[in-house]
A and B are shown apart, each in its own frame.
Chain A
Amino acid sequence: MGPDVSRRKFIASVAAAGAASAATVVLGGGRAWAADSLVGVTWGGAQVEASKALAEKFSSQVKPTTFAWELHQGGAANILPKIRATWPQVKYDIVAAWDPVWHGMIQEDWLEPLGDLPNLKDVPERFWTKDRQGRPVTAPLNLAALMWGYRTDLVKKPIASLKDLLDPSLKGLIMLNAPVSYSALQIVSMALEFGGSEKNLEPGFDFLKELARSGNVGRVGGGDIGHINSTTTGEIAVGFGASTNWQGIQKSAAVTLLNRVPSSKGLRGFHYTEGWSILRGPKAALAKEYANFCLSPANDEYYAGAIGAGPTNSKAKPTPELSRYFYQPDEIERFAYFPDFPVINSQMQGIVKRFETEIVPLIRKA
C-alpha cells in the first residue's frame, strides 16, 4: 500500500503541478513564467540604458535575473490603460513613474508597499510617496525640477516676475503647457505668484486669462518634445519645462532659468521625484530586491548622474554641472517647491475643462 500510494501521489502531484503551470502559461497571460525574470517599464534614452546597466550588475552581484524592458511612449501615463486593461494579470513587474502617476496608481491599489527596503532609510522622507495607509510605495531614484525659463537671445527685456509675461514685446513668444502636462504646475506657479495655492487656483486662472487676452501666447501644449522643438526653432521664447528639457534647449542657444528669483512666489523650482514603483503580484519580492539595489548610494549616484538629474539618496553625490537646476541644501527652503500632487490630481478634470472652455477661446480671439 505504502509505495504504491506514495508513487501514485507523487505522479498525481507532478501532474497537478504540470497542469497548474500549463494553465498559468495559458491563462496567466503576461507574467513571464521563467523562474527569475522581471518585466520593467521605463523611459527610453538615458533612463533605460542606466536601468539596463544596473540590471546587469544586479544579475551578476545579487541574483541571476533576466530583464525585459518596455518603454514609456511619451508620458508615463500611457502605460496606465495597459495595466488597467489586464489587471490583475499584468505583465509588468516594476514601473518607472513620477508623483502624479503614482497617486493615480495608489487610488487603484496597484502598488506594493516598500517600507522594508533597507536603502530607503537613506532617502529623506520628503521624497517618499505614501499610500493611503501611510506606507511608502515608491523607490525614488532621482529628483527632477520644473521651472520657467527663456531663450536669452530672443527676449529683449529680462523677465523678473510673472507679470512681466504680459509685456507687449513678448507677443506670440510664450508657450503654455497643456494642463495635463506636468500636473498643471504651470498654473499652480501662477496661482502661487498671486496669492493662491494648489487648493485655490483661482488667482492662477485669473492671470491665465489676462495672459491669454494679451496675445503673447504663441503655442499651447505639445509635451516635452513640443516644448523643446518650439524653443530650439525659435518659434517661442518663454516656457515652463523640466530640467532635462532645458538641458536639451541649451544645445541650441543660451537659456536664462527662472528658478532662483528671490522676490517671486511663483518663479520657483518645482520638485518631483521619479523612480520605481512595484505592482502587486507574484514577482513583487524579486522586484523589491532590484529596486533596493538601485537605491544604494553608489547606484543611485550612478543613475542620477547618467540621466542628468539629482540623486535622492542623501549619501549620493549630486553632479556639479547640474547645480543650475538643483539646489544646495540652504537654497531649498528659499526656492524649491514640493507640490501637493493628490490635491492637484483631484481637481485635474475641472482644470482641463476650464482650460478648454475658458482659456483656449480667449487665446484664439487674441
Chain B
Amino acid sequence: MRLTRSAALLLAAVLVVFLGLYVFPLATLVRESFKVYRSGRIGGLAGTFTLANYAELLTPAYAGYFLDTFRIGFIATALGLVVSYPIAHFVARGRGRIRTLWIALLVAMLFVGTLIRAYSLALTFGPVGILLPVSRFLGVSPNSLTITELVVIAGLLHYVIPLMALTLIGTIHNVNPALELVAQSLGAPRWKAFFTITVLLSGRGILSAFLLGYALTISSFVIPMVLGKGIVLFATNLIFNRFSELAHYPGGAAIAVVMLLLSFLIIYGIVRVVSRRLEPA
C-alpha cells in the first residue's frame, strides 16, 4: 500500500524526533571528529579541520579490534538466537506455571543492571568461577585469548537472550499453530514441521530479533571491559579510553563514526537480503 498523507505526516513526526535527538547530536559528534586534537588539551580545537583522527585508525591493530567487535558480536547473537527461539516458542505456545516463571525470569533479567551483571558473570564464569575447572578440562590455559573470548560471549549471551526471547514471543504468537499440526498430519516429522513451517513463517521476526541482538552486542562495553580483561577490546572500549582522562573526543568520535557507518552498512545489508527472500507470499 502506498503512503497515505496521514501516514506520511506521522512518519515525518517520528523523523523529527529522531532528527532532533539523534541526527543533530550525531552531527556535532561528526564535526568533533574532524577537529585537531593536541595531547593535554580537553577535546578538539574549535574551528580546525583534519583527517588525522581517521588516519590514525588505518593500522592492522585497529582493523583487528573492529573485526573482533563484529565477529564476537555475531557469534554471540547467532548463538543467542538459537537459544532464544525455543524459549519464545515455549512461552508463546505454552500454558501454566513454568511459562509464567519464564516470563518473570526474562523480565527480571532486564533489571539486573549492567555493572552488577558483569561482576556476577565474572564471579560465575570468570577466572574465580567455573573457568579454572572448565579450562583445565578443555586443556587450555585460563588466560588464553580463546577462553577470554568465550567468557565474553557467555556474558553477551546473558545480556541478549532475554531481549531476543521477548521480541520473538510476539512473532510466534502470530504464527498459526495449526499449520504445524496440518503438516504433521500430512506426514512430516515434528522437527521438519517445526523448521519449515513455524521457523520460516517467523522469518521477519527472527530478523528483527537478530538485528536487535547484534546492535546490542557490538555496542556493549561493560561486558567486554570486565570479562574481556582488557585483552578483548571492542570498539566501544577504544572509544571509552579516549573519552576518559585523555579527553581525546575527536579520536573517540572518529571511531564512533566509523563504527556507525560499518554497522549501518552491515545491518542494511542483512535487512535487504533477508527482506527480499522473505517477501510475503
Indicate yes or no for A touching B, C-beta below 8 A: yes
> Interface residues, chain A, CB within 8 Å of chain B?
74-78, 80-81, 84, 100-101, 103-105, 107-108, 171-172, 176, 178, 180-181, 183, 215, 218-222, 226, 229, 233-235, 342, 345-350, 352-353, 356-358, 360-361, 363-366
The reply to whether B243 and A75 form a contact with Cβ atoms under 8 Å apart is no
Residues from chain A with Cβ under 8 Å of B143 in the complex: 171-172, 215, 218, 366
Is the pair A222, B225 in contact by a Cβ cutoff of 8 Å? yes
Check if A221 sits within 8 Å of B225, measured CB to CB.
yes
Contacting residues of chain B (204-261) with chain A, CB-CB under 8 angstroms: 225-226, 229-231, 233, 238, 241-249, 251
The prevalent SS among residues of A at the interface is helix
Question: Is the pair A101, B245 in contact by a Cβ cutoff of 8 Å?
Answer: yes
Chain B residues with a Cβ under 8 A of chain A:
37, 39-43, 56, 59, 61-62, 64-65, 119, 122-123, 126-128, 141-143, 145, 225-226, 229-231, 233, 238, 241-249, 251
Question: Ordered nearest first, which 8 A-B pairs have the shortest CB separation?
Answer: A220-B230, A357-B61, A345-B40, A77-B245, A349-B39, A221-B230, A172-B143, A219-B229
Across the interface, do B244 and A364 meet the contact criterion of CB distance under 8 Å? Answer: no
> Are B39 and A350 in contact, CB atoms less than 8 angstroms apart?
yes
CB atoms of A222 and B226 under 8 A apart: yes
Which residue of the partner chain, among B40, B62, B142, B244, contacts A356 with CB atoms under 8 Å?
B62
Residue in chain B with minimal CB distance to A176: B230
B201 to chain A, nearest CB (A): 43
B62 touches A357 (CB 8 A): yes
**Measured CA separation A222–B119 after assembly (Å):** 12
**Beta-carbon contact of B231 and A360 below 8 Å:** yes
CA distance A220 to B224 in the complex (A): 12
Shortest B137–chain A CB gap in Å is: 18
Q: Which of A75, A77, A347 is close to B39, meaning CB atoms less than 8 Å apart? A: A347
Find out whether the CB atom of A356 lies under 8 angstroms from the CB atom of B245: no
Q: How many A-B residue pairs have CB under 8 A?
A: 112
Chain B residues near A221 (CB-CB < 8 A): 225, 230
What residues of chain B lie closer than 8 Å to A77, measured between beta carbons? Answer: 244-247
Residue in chain B with minimal CB distance to A219: B229
- Asked whether, in the complex, the Cβ of B43 is within 8 Å of the Cβ of A349, the reply is no
Interchain nearest-CB distance for B129 vs A (Å):
9
A276 to B62, CA, bound (A): 38
Chain B CB within 10 Å, residue with most, of A172, A229, A233, A349? A349
Please measure, in the bound complex, the distance between the C-alpha atom of A201 and the C-alpha atom of B197, giving whole angstroms: 64
Given contacts A219-B229, A349-B251, contact A172 B142 (CB under 8 A): yes
| Contacting pair B145 A78 (CB below 8 A) | no
Question: Given contacts A104-B40, A226-B226, A357-B61, are A235 and B127 in contact (CB under 8 A)?
Answer: yes
- Per the bound structure, the CA–CA distance linking A220 and B231 in Å amounts to 7
**Complex formed: what's the CA distance from A262 to B160 in Å?**
52
* Contact assessment for A81 and B243 in the assembled complex, using a CB-CB cutoff below 8 Å: yes
A75 contacts which chain B residues (CB < 8 A)?
A: 244-245
What residues of chain B lie closer than 8 Å to A108, measured between beta carbons? 41-42
Given contacts A342-B40, A357-B59, 5 further A-B contacts (CB under 8 A): A104-B41, A178-B241, A349-B37, A356-B238, A363-B231
Give Cα distance in the complex from A352 to B245, angstroms.
11
Say whether, besides A220-B231, A222-B225, A360-B231, A180 and B246 are in contact (CB < 8 Å). Answer: yes
Are A104 and B242 CB-contacts (below 8 A) given A229-B119, A353-B56? Answer: no
18 A-B residue contacts at CB 8 Å? Answer: A74-B244, A77-B246, A80-B42, A84-B43, A101-B245, A107-B40, A172-B142, A181-B245, A183-B245, A221-B230, A222-B226, A226-B225, A342-B40, A349-B39, A349-B248, A352-B246, A352-B248, A353-B56
Say how far B239's CB is from chain A's closest CB, in angstroms: 12
A180→B244 contact, CB < 8 A: yes
Q: Would you call B39 and A346 a contact (CB within 8 A)?
A: yes
Contacts A357-B61, A360-B233; A100 near B128 (Cβ below 8 A)? no
- Residue among B62, B122, B229, B238 facing the most chain A CB atoms (10 A cut-off): B229
Task: Return chain A residues, CB-CB under 8 Å to B248.
Answer: 349, 352
Whether A361 contacts B61 by the Cβ 8 Å rule is yes
CA distance A331 to B246 in the complex (A): 32
Residues of B within 8 A of A360 (CB): 61, 230-231, 233
Given the complex of chains A and B, what is the CA–CA distance between A234 and B128 in angstroms?
7
Query: Closest CB-CB distance, A43 to chain B, in whole Å?
Result: 14
Contact in complex: A218, B39 (CB < 8 Å): no
The answer to whether A235 and B128 have CB atoms under 8 Å apart is: yes
